[in-house]
Amino acid sequence: MPRATWQYFGLFTTLVHELGHAVAALLSGRMVHGIRIRRNHSGDAVSSGRGARGTVISGVLGYPAPAIVGAAQLWSVFNGYAAIALFVGGVVLLLTLLVIRNLFGALVVLVSAAVGAALWLYASPQTQSYALLVLGVALLVGSVRGLVTVIGVHVRRRDQIGTSDAYLLSRRTGVPSAVWLTIFVVLIGGCWVGAVTSYLADSRPV
């Protein structure tokens, strides 16, 4: 992915990453207090609640979230649900404004929601499908880029280890960071397999 493109699209990938933490926290019974997105592509999602299970689930689903969303978008295109996917994504983005806690993060959410709304309201079904194909593939690529970055933090840039979800999970649970990194790899790899499978199923002659 070209660096100039990633400079902007990486912010959306970070947003999806933090939404992964937030949605997982909500589904595990935790309360989400806020999400922040920063210009350097970093972010955080703050939640609270009792029990270690919610903390672990929330911590695990950050890096795989872009891959999960990307694979889901490709599946929606191949199965004729592109418009529904755009609508659901727009609703999620608007709800995200309730928990965004910095102005730059709110700008990222608003721009993303505006693009989605424009596609849903004005684009043809074919254009919607192509747009979601591009976005889904870009999110899948972005998930791998994020994975490579966090592995690099553990291997070469140990001074940044405090930014790694795998390290934070290791501190909370006592399970080595390598185990959590492996889980990230498995989840992201599974999404890639699912996306390719959806494509191959759609490409088979009837």
Digit-coded pLDDT (tens) for 4-32:
788 889 999 999 999 999 999 999 888 99
What distance separates the 2 farthest-apart alpha carbons in the chain?
A: 55
CB 83 within 8 A of CB 128: yes
Share of the chain above pLDDT 70, in %: 98
- CB under 8 A, 24+ apart: contacts of 35-40: 35/96, 35/99, 35/100, 35/101, 35/105, 36/100, 36/101, 36/102, 36/105, 37/11, 37/100, 37/102, 37/104, 37/105, 37/108, 37/109, 38/102, 38/104, 38/105, 39/11, 39/104
**Residue 157 predicted with pLDDT over 50:** yes
**Residue 185 predicted with pLDDT over 90:** yes
C-alpha span between 177 and 166 (Å, rounded): 5
Considering only residues 53 and 131, tell me which one the structure prediction assigns the higher pLDDT. 131
**Residue 1 predicted with pLDDT over 90:** no
**Residue 149 predicted with pLDDT over 60:** yes
Predicted model pTM: 0.91
